[in-house]
Copies of this chain bind each other. A is one copy, B any other.
Protein backbone atom coordinates (compact mmCIF):
# COMPACT_ATOMS: atom_id res chain seq x y z
CA UNK A 1 0.00 0.00 0.00
CA UNK A 2 1.14 3.58 -0.62
CA UNK A 3 2.02 5.85 2.29
CA UNK A 4 -0.69 7.53 4.34
CA UNK A 5 -0.53 11.05 5.70
CA UNK A 6 -1.35 9.86 9.24
CA UNK A 7 0.69 7.68 11.52
CA UNK A 8 -0.26 6.01 14.80
CA UNK A 9 -3.84 6.86 15.79
CA UNK A 10 -4.91 5.59 19.20
CA UNK A 11 -8.48 4.31 19.57
CA UNK A 12 -10.45 4.47 22.80
CA UNK A 13 -10.81 1.10 24.58
CA UNK A 14 -14.56 1.75 24.73
CA UNK A 15 -14.69 1.89 20.93
CA UNK A 16 -12.68 -1.32 20.64
CA UNK A 17 -15.08 -2.96 23.06
CA UNK A 18 -18.05 -1.72 21.03
CA UNK A 19 -16.77 -3.53 17.96
CA UNK A 20 -16.05 -6.64 19.96
CA UNK A 21 -19.46 -6.68 21.66
CA UNK A 22 -21.33 -6.12 18.42
CA UNK A 23 -19.74 -9.22 16.93
CA UNK A 24 -20.26 -11.26 20.07
CA UNK A 25 -23.02 -13.85 19.73
CA UNK A 26 -23.65 -14.40 23.44
CA UNK A 27 -24.19 -10.86 24.59
CA UNK A 28 -26.40 -11.75 27.55
CA UNK A 29 -23.58 -13.69 29.21
CA UNK A 30 -21.41 -10.60 29.29
CA UNK A 31 -22.10 -8.11 32.04
CA UNK A 32 -20.98 -4.71 30.94
CA UNK A 33 -19.81 -2.00 33.28
CA UNK A 34 -17.92 -0.72 30.21
CA UNK A 35 -19.10 1.95 27.76
CA UNK A 36 -21.61 4.58 28.89
CA UNK A 37 -24.37 3.14 26.74
CA UNK A 38 -27.89 3.71 28.14
CA UNK A 39 -29.89 0.49 28.44
CA UNK A 40 -33.16 2.43 28.33
CA UNK A 41 -35.16 2.98 25.17
CA UNK A 42 -35.76 6.58 24.09
CA UNK A 43 -39.12 8.10 25.10
CA UNK A 44 -41.87 6.27 23.22
CA UNK A 45 -43.51 9.56 22.23
CA UNK A 46 -40.40 10.61 20.31
CA UNK A 47 -40.08 7.36 18.34
CA UNK A 48 -43.85 7.27 17.67
CA UNK A 49 -43.72 10.84 16.40
CA UNK A 50 -40.87 9.98 14.05
CA UNK A 51 -42.76 6.94 12.75
CA UNK A 52 -45.85 9.08 12.17
CA UNK A 53 -43.75 11.67 10.32
CA UNK A 54 -42.41 8.87 8.07
CA UNK A 55 -46.05 8.20 7.15
CA UNK A 56 -47.26 11.81 6.97
CA UNK A 57 -44.32 13.28 5.06
CA UNK A 58 -41.70 10.64 4.21
CA UNK A 59 -39.75 13.06 2.02
CA UNK A 60 -39.72 15.84 4.60
CA UNK A 61 -38.59 13.41 7.30
CA UNK A 62 -35.63 12.23 5.23
CA UNK A 63 -34.35 15.32 3.43
CA UNK A 64 -31.30 17.55 3.80
CA UNK A 65 -31.53 20.61 6.02
CA UNK A 66 -29.43 23.54 7.02
CA UNK A 67 -25.98 22.91 8.48
CA UNK A 68 -26.82 24.34 11.90
CA UNK A 69 -29.98 22.25 12.12
CA UNK A 70 -33.70 22.89 11.77
CA UNK A 71 -34.58 26.40 12.99
CA UNK A 72 -37.49 24.94 15.00
CA UNK A 73 -35.21 22.55 16.90
CA UNK A 74 -32.65 25.26 17.62
CA UNK A 75 -35.48 27.38 19.03
CA UNK A 76 -36.58 24.53 21.28
CA UNK A 77 -33.03 24.11 22.58
CA UNK A 78 -32.84 27.84 23.25
CA UNK A 79 -36.18 27.73 25.12
CA UNK A 80 -34.95 24.79 27.19
CA UNK A 81 -31.80 26.67 28.20
CA UNK A 82 -33.89 29.72 29.11
CA UNK A 83 -36.41 27.70 31.11
CA UNK A 84 -34.06 25.40 32.99
CA UNK A 85 -30.75 27.21 33.17
CA UNK A 86 -31.90 30.84 32.98
CA UNK A 87 -29.57 31.73 30.17
CA UNK A 88 -30.25 33.45 26.89
CA UNK A 89 -28.94 31.92 23.65
CA UNK A 90 -29.90 33.18 20.18
CA UNK A 91 -31.26 30.14 18.31
CA UNK A 92 -30.36 31.64 14.95
CA UNK A 93 -26.78 32.70 15.60
CA UNK A 94 -25.47 31.00 18.71
CA UNK A 95 -26.44 27.31 18.39
CA UNK A 96 -25.32 24.58 16.02
CA UNK A 97 -26.68 21.03 16.15
CA UNK A 98 -24.04 18.33 15.68
CA UNK A 99 -23.51 14.58 15.17
CA UNK A 100 -23.57 13.85 18.90
CA UNK A 101 -21.43 15.46 21.55
CA UNK A 102 -18.33 14.02 19.85
CA UNK A 103 -18.63 16.24 16.79
CA UNK A 104 -19.48 19.24 18.99
CA UNK A 105 -16.25 18.73 20.92
CA UNK A 106 -14.10 17.94 17.88
CA UNK A 107 -15.18 21.06 16.01
CA UNK A 108 -14.90 23.20 19.14
CA UNK A 109 -11.33 22.06 19.69
CA UNK A 110 -10.51 22.63 16.04
CA UNK A 111 -12.03 26.10 16.10
CA UNK A 112 -10.39 27.34 19.29
CA UNK A 113 -7.00 25.68 19.38
CA UNK A 114 -3.98 25.35 17.16
CA UNK A 115 -0.51 24.00 17.85
CA UNK A 116 1.20 24.97 20.19
CA UNK A 117 -1.92 26.03 22.15
CA UNK A 118 -2.70 24.16 25.33
CA UNK A 119 -5.92 23.23 27.06
CA UNK A 120 -6.28 22.39 30.74
CA UNK A 121 -8.16 19.19 31.58
CA UNK A 122 -8.85 17.66 34.96
CA UNK A 123 -7.03 14.37 35.40
CA UNK A 124 -8.80 11.94 35.42
CA UNK A 125 -11.46 12.94 32.93
CA UNK A 126 -13.31 11.62 29.86
CA UNK A 127 -10.92 9.40 27.92
CA UNK A 128 -11.96 10.45 24.41
CA UNK A 129 -10.76 14.05 24.85
CA UNK A 130 -7.15 12.89 24.68
CA UNK A 131 -7.11 11.21 21.25
CA UNK A 132 -9.20 14.06 19.81
CA UNK A 133 -6.79 16.69 21.09
CA UNK A 134 -3.76 14.61 20.19
CA UNK A 135 -5.03 14.17 16.63
CA UNK A 136 -5.48 17.94 16.35
CA UNK A 137 -1.96 18.44 17.75
CA UNK A 138 -3.26 20.44 20.70
CA UNK A 139 -1.37 20.25 23.97
CA UNK A 140 -2.99 19.06 27.17
CA UNK A 141 -2.15 20.39 30.64
CA UNK A 142 -3.19 17.80 33.22
CA UNK A 143 -4.72 19.16 36.40
CA UNK A 144 -4.82 16.39 39.01
CA UNK A 145 -8.01 15.93 41.04
CA UNK A 146 -8.23 13.56 43.97
CA UNK A 147 -10.74 11.15 45.45
CA UNK A 148 -10.09 12.71 48.89
CA UNK A 149 -11.50 16.00 47.55
CA UNK A 150 -14.37 14.20 45.86
CA UNK A 151 -12.53 15.05 42.63
CA UNK A 152 -13.29 18.80 42.94
CA UNK A 153 -11.04 21.10 40.94
CA UNK A 154 -8.72 23.23 43.06
CA UNK A 155 -8.98 26.73 41.55
CA UNK A 156 -5.58 27.78 42.93
CA UNK A 157 -3.95 24.77 41.33
CA UNK A 158 -5.81 25.57 38.10
CA UNK A 159 -4.43 29.10 38.26
CA UNK A 160 -0.90 27.78 38.73
CA UNK A 161 -1.26 25.36 35.83
CA UNK A 162 -1.88 28.17 33.34
CA UNK A 163 1.07 29.17 31.18
CA UNK A 164 1.49 31.45 28.17
CA UNK A 165 0.45 28.70 25.78
CA UNK A 166 -2.80 28.02 27.66
CA UNK A 167 -5.78 29.04 25.61
CA UNK A 168 -8.68 27.10 27.11
CA UNK A 169 -9.97 25.24 30.13
CA UNK A 170 -12.41 22.36 29.80
CA UNK A 171 -14.74 21.24 32.56
CA UNK A 172 -17.05 18.25 32.51
CA UNK A 173 -19.65 18.27 35.27
CA UNK A 174 -21.16 15.91 36.24
CA UNK A 175 -17.97 14.13 35.35
CA UNK A 176 -17.04 10.97 33.54
CA UNK A 177 -15.41 8.83 35.03
CA UNK A 178 -15.79 10.11 38.61
CA UNK A 179 -19.45 11.18 38.87
CA UNK A 180 -18.25 14.42 40.49
CA UNK A 181 -20.53 17.47 40.33
CA UNK A 182 -18.56 20.72 40.50
CA UNK A 183 -19.43 22.74 43.62
CA UNK A 184 -21.13 26.04 42.91
CA UNK A 185 -18.25 28.07 44.34
CA UNK A 186 -15.63 26.04 42.48
CA UNK A 187 -17.48 26.65 39.23
CA UNK A 188 -17.74 30.36 40.01
CA UNK A 189 -13.99 30.42 40.68
CA UNK A 190 -13.25 28.74 37.34
CA UNK A 191 -15.48 31.18 35.44
CA UNK A 192 -13.85 34.18 37.10
CA UNK A 193 -10.36 32.85 36.51
CA UNK A 194 -11.06 32.25 32.80
CA UNK A 195 -12.51 35.75 32.44
CA UNK A 196 -9.59 37.24 34.29
CA UNK A 197 -6.97 35.36 32.25
CA UNK A 198 -8.88 35.78 28.96
CA UNK A 199 -9.16 32.05 28.39
CA UNK A 200 -11.86 30.09 26.61
CA UNK A 201 -13.96 28.04 28.99
CA UNK A 202 -15.42 24.90 27.42
CA UNK A 203 -18.13 23.23 29.46
CA UNK A 204 -19.22 19.73 28.52
CA UNK A 205 -22.74 19.47 29.94
CA UNK A 206 -23.65 16.06 28.57
CA UNK A 207 -24.55 14.63 32.00
CA UNK A 208 -26.42 17.65 33.38
CA UNK A 209 -29.77 15.81 33.38
CA UNK A 210 -28.45 12.81 35.28
CA UNK A 211 -28.22 14.18 38.78
CA UNK A 212 -28.86 12.34 42.07
CA UNK A 213 -27.60 14.85 44.63
CA UNK A 214 -27.07 18.61 44.37
CA UNK A 215 -27.91 21.16 41.71
CA UNK A 216 -26.48 21.79 38.25
CA UNK A 217 -25.45 25.36 37.38
CA UNK A 218 -24.82 26.59 33.88
CA UNK A 219 -21.42 28.26 34.14
CA UNK A 220 -22.85 31.43 32.56
CA UNK A 221 -24.74 31.96 35.82
CA UNK A 222 -21.42 33.39 36.99
CA UNK A 223 -20.43 35.26 33.80
CA UNK A 224 -18.27 34.47 30.82
CA UNK A 225 -20.93 34.86 28.13
CA UNK A 226 -18.38 35.90 25.54
CA UNK A 227 -15.67 33.35 26.29
CA UNK A 228 -17.70 30.24 27.11
CA UNK A 229 -18.56 27.40 24.74
CA UNK A 230 -20.90 24.61 25.81
CA UNK A 231 -21.08 21.17 24.22
CA UNK A 232 -24.00 18.89 24.94
CA UNK A 233 -25.83 15.87 23.55
CA UNK A 234 -29.15 14.04 23.60
CA UNK A 235 -27.39 10.67 23.57
CA UNK A 236 -27.40 10.09 27.31
CA UNK A 237 -30.43 11.97 28.66
CA UNK A 238 -32.84 10.97 25.87
CA UNK A 239 -31.23 7.51 25.56
CA UNK A 240 -30.74 7.99 21.83
CA UNK A 241 -26.99 7.67 21.22
CA UNK A 242 -27.56 5.80 17.96
CA UNK A 243 -29.35 8.86 16.55
CA UNK A 244 -26.18 10.97 16.86
CA UNK A 245 -27.52 14.34 17.90
CA UNK A 246 -25.80 16.92 20.06
CA UNK A 247 -25.37 20.67 20.08
CA UNK A 248 -22.87 23.38 20.78
CA UNK A 249 -23.59 26.98 21.72
CA UNK A 250 -21.42 30.02 22.23
CA UNK A 251 -20.69 33.47 20.75
CA UNK A 252 -22.12 34.05 17.25
CA UNK A 253 -18.72 34.42 15.55
CA UNK A 254 -17.61 31.13 17.02
CA UNK A 255 -20.79 29.35 15.89
CA UNK A 256 -20.28 30.76 12.38
CA UNK A 257 -16.94 28.95 12.18
CA UNK A 258 -18.37 25.79 13.72
CA UNK A 259 -21.09 25.68 11.06
CA UNK A 260 -18.54 26.17 8.28
CA UNK A 261 -16.40 23.32 9.59
CA UNK A 262 -19.45 21.14 10.11
CA UNK A 263 -20.39 21.68 6.48
CA UNK A 264 -16.99 20.25 5.46
CA UNK A 265 -17.20 17.28 7.80
CA UNK A 266 -20.80 16.09 7.78
CA UNK A 267 -22.89 18.65 5.84
CA UNK A 268 -25.92 18.76 8.16
CA UNK A 269 -27.38 16.99 11.18
CA UNK A 270 -29.64 13.95 10.91
CA UNK A 271 -33.25 14.87 10.14
CA UNK A 272 -34.83 11.85 11.89
CA UNK A 273 -32.78 12.65 14.99
CA UNK A 274 -33.98 16.26 14.92
CA UNK A 275 -37.60 15.19 14.58
CA UNK A 276 -37.26 12.96 17.66
CA UNK A 277 -35.75 15.84 19.59
CA UNK A 278 -38.48 18.18 18.38
CA UNK A 279 -41.04 15.93 20.06
CA UNK A 280 -38.81 15.51 23.11
CA UNK A 281 -38.54 19.27 23.68
CA UNK A 282 -41.82 20.75 22.41
CA UNK A 283 -44.60 22.01 24.71
CA UNK A 284 -42.14 23.22 27.31
CA UNK A 285 -40.33 19.89 27.24
CA UNK A 286 -43.32 17.91 28.54
CA UNK A 287 -42.05 14.59 27.18
CA UNK A 288 -38.53 15.27 28.39
CA UNK A 289 -39.59 16.26 31.90
CA UNK A 290 -41.75 13.18 32.37
CA UNK A 291 -39.10 10.89 30.90
CA UNK A 292 -36.33 12.24 33.10
CA UNK A 293 -38.39 12.36 36.27
CA UNK A 294 -40.25 9.08 35.92
CA UNK A 295 -37.77 6.93 34.07
CA UNK A 296 -34.19 8.09 33.67
CA UNK A 297 -33.26 9.52 37.05
CA UNK A 298 -35.12 6.95 39.20
CA UNK A 299 -33.71 4.05 37.15
CA UNK A 300 -30.12 5.21 37.36
CA UNK A 301 -30.45 6.29 40.98
CA UNK A 302 -31.49 2.78 41.94
CA UNK A 303 -28.59 1.33 39.96
CA UNK A 304 -26.17 3.81 41.49
CA UNK A 305 -27.34 2.88 44.97
CA UNK A 306 -27.00 -0.78 44.09
CA UNK A 307 -23.48 -0.31 42.77
CA UNK A 308 -22.41 1.73 45.80
CA UNK A 309 -23.81 -1.02 47.99
CA UNK A 310 -21.97 -3.70 45.98
CA UNK A 311 -18.74 -1.72 46.14
CA UNK A 312 -18.99 -1.66 49.92
CA UNK A 313 -19.86 -5.31 50.24
CA UNK A 314 -17.63 -6.89 47.58
CA UNK A 315 -14.72 -4.42 47.31
CA UNK A 316 -14.46 -2.94 50.81
CA UNK A 317 -10.80 -2.00 50.35
CA UNK A 318 -11.43 0.10 47.21
CA UNK A 319 -11.57 3.83 47.80
CA UNK A 320 -14.24 5.69 45.85
CA UNK A 321 -16.42 8.78 45.80
CA UNK A 322 -20.21 8.35 45.63
CA UNK A 323 -21.25 9.78 42.25
CA UNK A 324 -23.56 12.78 42.44
CA UNK A 325 -24.36 12.69 38.76
CA UNK A 326 -23.61 10.91 35.46
CA UNK A 327 -23.47 7.11 35.70
CA UNK A 328 -19.95 6.04 36.54
CA UNK A 329 -17.88 5.05 39.53
CA UNK A 330 -14.11 5.27 39.60
CA UNK A 331 -12.74 3.12 42.44
CA UNK A 332 -9.08 3.13 43.33
CA UNK A 333 -8.18 -0.56 43.15
CA UNK A 334 -4.59 -0.25 44.45
CA UNK A 335 -5.27 -2.43 47.45
CA UNK A 336 -6.50 -5.28 45.26
CA UNK A 337 -4.22 -5.12 42.26
CA UNK A 338 -0.94 -6.03 43.98
CA UNK A 339 1.52 -6.01 41.11
CA UNK A 340 -1.09 -6.43 38.40
CA UNK A 341 -1.82 -3.29 36.36
CA UNK A 342 -5.44 -2.41 35.87
CA UNK A 343 -5.47 -3.13 32.15
CA UNK A 344 -4.30 -6.70 32.67
CA UNK A 345 -6.93 -6.96 35.39
CA UNK A 346 -9.67 -5.70 33.03
CA UNK A 347 -8.65 -7.99 30.18
CA UNK A 348 -8.40 -11.05 32.38
CA UNK A 349 -11.69 -10.23 34.10
CA UNK A 350 -13.43 -10.14 30.74
CA UNK A 351 -11.83 -13.38 29.65
CA UNK A 352 -12.44 -15.32 32.85
CA UNK A 353 -15.69 -13.85 34.12
CA UNK A 354 -17.25 -12.05 31.16
CA UNK A 355 -17.42 -8.72 32.98
CA UNK A 356 -16.44 -5.54 31.14
CA UNK A 357 -14.72 -2.71 33.06
CA UNK A 358 -12.51 0.07 31.67
CA UNK A 359 -8.89 0.44 32.83
CA UNK A 360 -8.32 3.74 34.62
CA UNK A 361 -5.15 4.78 32.84
CA UNK A 362 -7.09 5.84 29.75
CA UNK A 363 -8.65 8.64 31.81
CA UNK A 364 -5.30 10.19 32.69
CA UNK A 365 -2.16 9.66 34.73
CA UNK A 366 -4.20 9.85 37.94
CA UNK A 367 -6.39 7.03 36.70
CA UNK A 368 -3.74 4.37 37.09
CA UNK A 369 -4.76 1.57 39.46
CA UNK A 370 -8.38 2.66 39.04
CA UNK A 371 -11.24 1.07 37.15
CA UNK A 372 -14.23 2.79 35.60
CA UNK A 373 -17.51 1.02 36.13
CA UNK A 374 -20.73 2.31 34.66
CA UNK A 375 -24.12 1.58 36.18
CA UNK A 376 -26.03 2.77 33.11
CA UNK A 377 -26.13 -0.48 31.20
CA UNK A 378 -27.21 -3.21 33.59
CA UNK A 379 -30.23 -3.58 35.91
CA UNK A 380 -29.69 -4.14 39.65
CA UNK A 381 -29.69 -7.93 39.60
CA UNK A 382 -27.01 -8.00 36.95
CA UNK A 383 -24.98 -5.36 38.80
CA UNK A 384 -25.02 -7.69 41.80
CA UNK A 385 -24.13 -10.64 39.55
CA UNK A 386 -21.26 -8.64 38.07
CA UNK A 387 -19.82 -7.96 41.51
CA UNK A 388 -20.21 -11.62 42.50
CA UNK A 389 -18.09 -12.44 39.47
CA UNK A 390 -15.53 -9.74 40.32
CA UNK A 391 -15.29 -11.10 43.89
CA UNK A 392 -14.83 -14.57 42.49
CA UNK A 393 -12.12 -13.29 40.18
CA UNK A 394 -10.27 -11.68 43.08
CA UNK A 395 -10.42 -14.94 45.00
CA UNK A 396 -9.29 -17.06 42.07
CA UNK A 397 -6.34 -14.75 41.50
CA UNK A 398 -5.46 -14.26 45.17
CA UNK A 399 -5.96 -10.51 44.88
Contacts and interface: CB of A to CB of B under 8 A. Distances in A.
Interface of A: 1-2, 4-6, 9-12, 15, 18-19, 22-23, 35, 37-42, 44, 47-48, 50-51, 54-55, 58-59, 61-68, 70-71, 99-100, 102-103, 106, 110-114, 117, 128, 131-132, 135, 198-200, 226-227, 235, 239-244, 251, 253-254, 257, 259-261, 263-273
A268 B18 contact: yes
Contacts of A2: 198-200, 226-227
A241 B64 contact: yes
Given A242-B64, A266-B244, A251 B41 contact: no
A244 B132 contact: no
Contacts of A257: 4, 6, 9
B99 A244 contact: yes
B41 A58 contact: yes
Nearest to A72: B22
B102 A264 contact: yes
Nearest to A275: B242
Contacts of A271: 242-243
17 contacts: A1-B251, A5-B112, A6-B110, A6-B114, A9-B260, A18-B268, A19-B68, A22-B71, A42-B58, A44-B58, A62-B239, A100-B266, A135-B261, A244-B266, A270-B270, A270-B272, A272-B272
Contacts of A62: 41-42, 47, 239-243
A378 to B, nearest CB: 13
Contacts of A100: 266-267
Given A110-B6, A112-B4, A102 B266 contact: yes
A55 B23 CA distance: 23
Q: A2, A12, A37, A48 — which one has the most chain B CB atoms within 10 A of its CB? A: A2
A264 to B, nearest CB: 5
B65 A54 contact: no
Nearest to A199: B2
A263 B131 CA distance: 9
Given A2-B200, A65-B242, A227-B1, A132 B99 contact: no
A102 B262 CA distance: 10
Contacts of A15: 66-67, 263, 267-268
A246 to B, nearest CB: 10
B47 A58 contact: yes
Nearest to A113: B5
A266 B22 contact: no
Contacts of A47: 54, 58, 61-62
A253 B199 CA distance: 39
A176 B249 CA distance: 34
Contacts of A61: 47, 242
A228 B140 CA distance: 36
Given A6-B110, A99-B99, A37 B64 contact: yes
A22 B111 contact: no
Q: A6, A251, A271 — which one has the most chain B CB atoms within 10 A of its CB? A: A6
A59 B41 contact: yes
